[in-house]
Amino acid sequence: QDAGVRGEDLDAILTGTGPGPFTGLRAGIVTARALGFAWSVPVYGMMSLTALAERAVSGAAAGGENVERAFASAEDAELLVLSDARRREVYSARYRVNAEGYSLVDGPNVCPASEILPGGAPSYAYGYGAGLYPETLEEHGWTIVESAREVHPHAEYLVAAAARLGVENLSEDTSAQYLRD
Residue-wise pLDDT tens digits, 53-112: 999 888 743 334 545 555 655 567 899 999 999 999 999 999 998 877 899 999 999 999
Bridge partner residues of 14 (DSSP): 44
Nearest to 107 by CA among 171, 45, 48: 48
Burial of 172 (0-12, 13-18, 19+ CB in 10 A): exposed
Nearest to 94 by CA among 157, 26, 47, 38: 47
What's the pLDDT score for residue 73? 59
pTM (predicted TM-score) = 0.87
Mean pLDDT of 21-43: 94
Quick one: residue 121, left, alpha or beta (phi over 0 = left, psi -120 to 50 = alpha)? beta
What is the rounded average pLDDT for all residues in the chain? 88
What's the pLDDT score for residue 164? 92
What's the pLDDT score for residue 180? 79
